[in-house]
Each structure stands twice: as C-alpha cells, then as structure tokens.
Amino acid sequence: MLYQKTGKDIEEGMTSAPMFRCVAIVGVGMMGGSLGGALRSTGLAEEVVGVDRDGEALTQGVALGVLDRGTLSLKEAVQEADLVVLATPVASIPLLLTDLAPLVGTDALITDIGSTKQRIVESGERLFGGRFVGGHPMAGAPRGGVEASLPDLFAGAAWALVGSQQPEPETEHVARLTALVHALGARTIYLDSERHDRIVALVSHLPHLLSFAFADTVAGSPDPDMAHEMAGGSFRDLMRVSEADRPFWDAIFQENRTALLDALTAYERNLASLRQGIFQD
C-alpha cells in the first residue's frame, strides 16, 4: 500500500448504499480513475483499491480522491475484492486475466472496460465462466492519466455488456453489473463479442483513424498555422478526436484489425463514389 485515506475522508461524499464491499481497479489511468471517482462519490463501493505499476499514479489517485488506497501488488489489491475491473490497455488484459485467476476470491465478479472484446471475452469466460462479464463504456477524453479523471464521465453514456453469446440481463452476474452501470448513470447494451467489435470499429475506431489522418493532412499542408486560424467548428471537432494518445489507439486498431479493415474498406468505397460523383468529367 502506498497511501491510504483516513476513515473521515472515506465517509465524505457517500450518497448511495454500497453495492460492493471492495472494488479493485487494475490500471489507474483516466478511465480507471474516472470509475474510481464515480464509485467513491456515489458511495457504491465501501472501498476502492487501485493497482498499477506506476506508484506515482496510485499516489495521485488517492490524493485526488478517486481511490481509497493503492498498491503495486495485484494479489494485495484483489484478495478481498468482490468486484475486479481491468482498466489497462486492451492488449494486456488477456494476460492479466490469467494472472488474476489464482488470486481472486471465488465469489468475485470480474469485468473490464476495454474497447475490444473478442479475445478478452474468450479468455475471461474460459478462466472464470459466468463470473466474467465483458464491459465497454462508450466514454472517454483526449487526455490520459489519472489526473484527467472525470467522476461524471459515464453519466448518460452507453455501456456495453458483452459475452461470447449476448448476455442475458436476468442472470446473476450480468444483473449485478447492470445494476452498477445504471447506478453510475449509464445505460446498458447487451452484445455478443463479434457484433460488439464490428459495431465499435464503425462508431469509435474508424472515427479515430480518420481523425488522425485528417490531422496529418492539415499538418502537411502549405499553411497549417493559417488553417488553424481560419477554422470553424467542424475542423475543431475533427481535430479534438485527433488529440487522443496515438500509441494507445494503435494498440486498439491492432486488436480489432479485421473489423476495422472492413469498416475502412466500406468508407473508402463510399469516398471513391463521392469523388467520382463530384469530380467526374
């Protein structure tokens, strides 16, 4: 443990009856920190424990009030948890699930908040059966790091609950996670992992890919500074997305490459059609 709030600090701000005794968040960046902040501000967890390889992120998380305590040890973080949330980059989650299996209690609910699902869901269900329910809140921000945490990030957002087959809302573990998602102000969507990855490639991954390409096009133009000076709202909207962490998104593109390539091919086909219609002789 690197830092811990006092009892008085922990009690402040609790407005709801706790749904979980101890929530362990593995990965304390913007998304993990935002979830921790939301859980603490609503009182939905008696204790929020963060685990990360970066001790400074844990110290910051406690100081910012998004964690009750932090630790570098996965074992220490999860041994008392009745909910474990994996909030690390998507490529690392399958291995983390393997590391988690011998450490976590037999009654704990396991989920993640990664933006790709097929490989994660396969690993989670193989290791934990129905206790693993894949999750993906459709929320984010251009800036990363726990210092960018937003406790109201999930309010009004769609939150996909995902299995190898479409989850049944009334089953025990799905129902528990559904209740938590709703208590955080988000709305649930139930999808199988293949359909999830196909849809998210279209509505999230492709827009980021196109925004990066647009930003590079502007940067390589003869007058990039004047372009920024003259630009209006549509330009700013596209450029806002391009401010996201590119290495982080490159990993997501690789994880969902098949679905993303399909979406990109369809986009290129429609772009070619528009070009032909507008510029035909």
Same domain, 54 and 148: yes
What lies within 8 Å, CB to CB, of 78 at 6+ separation is 24, 26, 51, 84, 100, 103, 104, 105, 108
Query: pLDDT higher for 147 or 281?
Result: 147
Is residue 89 a part of any domain in this protein?
yes
Mean pLDDT of the chain: 92
Residue 238 lies in a domain: yes
Within a domain: 281? no
| 131 assigned to some structural domain | yes
Q: What is the mean pLDDT of residues 134-147?
A: 89
Give the pairing type, strands 69-71 and 83-86: unpaired
- In this prediction, residue 217 carries a pLDDT of 96
Final residue belonging to a domain, choices 166, 192, 218: 192
Residue 162 has pLDDT above 80, yes or no: yes
Among 192, 225, 251, where does a domain finish? 192
Confidence of residue 15 (pLDDT cuts 50, 70, 90): low
- Angstrom distance (rounded) from CA 90 to CA 101: 18
Say if residue 37's pLDDT is above 70: yes
Q: What share of the chain is helix, strand, coil (3-state, %, to 5)?
A: 55, 15, 30
Residues 232 and 166 placed together within one structural domain of the fold: no
Q: Do residues 98 and 144 both lie within one domain?
A: yes
- pLDDT tens per residue, range 180-221: 999 999 999 999 999 999 999 999 999 999 999 999 999 999
DSSP 109-176: EEEE--S--HHHHHHHHHHHGGGEEEEEES---S--SGGG--TTTTTT-EEEEEESSPPPTTSHHHHH
- CATH for 112: 3.40.50.720
Same domain, 102 and 34: yes
Shared domain check, 228 and 142? no
* Domain extent for 233: 198-269
Query: Does 243 fall in a domain?
Result: yes
Bridge partners of 3, per DSSP, are 70
Question: Does 236 reside within a domain?
Answer: yes
**Same domain, residue pair 230 and 179:** no
Q: Express each pLDDT in 258-269 by its tens digit.
A: 999 999 999 999
Last residue of a domain, one of 192, 212, 240: 192
CA 205 to chain centre: 13
**Number of separate domains in the chain:** 2
Q: Are residues 103 and 224 in the same domain?
A: no
